[in-house]
Amino acid sequence: MTPFEYVTVLISIILGLGITQIVTGVADLVHQQERVKIYWPHLLWVVIIFVLHIQEWWATFELRQFDSWRLPTFLLVVLYPINLFILARLLFPLGISNEEIDLKEFYFENFKKIFGWAIILPLLSLINNIFIIGHSFQEEIVQVLLPFILLAMIRQKTQRETLHKILAVLFLSMLIISMIVTWNSSLITK
């Protein structure tokens, strides 16, 4: 077993647990669909966090270039999947109840927690990309801007629904655009 194979086992487990949270949450909503009031911006965030899980698993392959690992480096790398797992859990109401599940109400009651944890993702990505992968700071402009956008949303005094809808569409669009832009560089070959 190579060092890469060894460290990616735990990363894959954590990412798998996050994906399980999302898939189970969606299945619970489908199972209770007669009591669920859908709110599409919330569902976009579910899609965004799901794709980020898959993208992180995919990007983990870049770590194969390291022949040796130190525990502090691994702890820094594993913080991103842990944060994704927490976000996956925050996206869904706890437990099954007999009451109506209003995802709009749930979203607006919890968006500050979700965005608070989401702020950590680009910061961890920035640190990992610069200090572990070796990217330049100029390549990380998006990771610098995202925390400020999310922090501004958390600090807003009103819950402007239009702004939340725009933000969800914007983040999903950015995710899709980043996949298109990195299409050739995200190729895994022998």
- The pLDDT, as a whole number, for residue 182 is 79
Residue 48 has pLDDT above 80, yes or no: yes
- What percent of the chain has pLDDT above 90? 57
Of 179 and 158, the one with more pLDDT: 179
User: Could you give the CA distance from residue 153 to residue 164 in angstroms, rounded to a whole number?
Assistant: 8
Residue 15 has pLDDT above 80, yes or no: yes
Residue 138 has pLDDT above 80, yes or no: no
| Rounded average pLDDT over 55-83 | 91
Q: How many CA atoms lie within 13 A of 1 on its CB side?
A: 7
Residue 151 has pLDDT above 70, yes or no: yes
Of 23 and 164, the one with more pLDDT: 23
What are the backbone dihedrals phi and psi of residue 147, each rounded to the nearest 5 degrees, phi first? -60, -35
What's the chain's average pLDDT?
A: 89
User: Could you give the CA distance from residue 136 to residue 168 in angstroms, rounded to a whole number?
Assistant: 28
| Rounded average pLDDT over 138-158 | 78
Residue 50 has pLDDT above 90, yes or no: yes
- Cα dihedral sign for 119, 122, 128, 134? negative
pLDDT in tens, 85-123: 999 999 999 876 778 999 999 999 999 999 999 999 999
Task: Dig out the tokens for 83 from the structure.
Answer: 């944060």
Per-domain residue ranges of the chain: 3-181
| Rounded average pLDDT over 38-59 | 96
**CB neighbour class for 140 (10 Å; exposed up to 12, middle 13-18, buried from 19):** middle
Residue 142 has pLDDT above 80, yes or no: no
User: Could you give the CA distance from residue 108 to residue 76 in angstroms, rounded to a whole number?
Assistant: 31
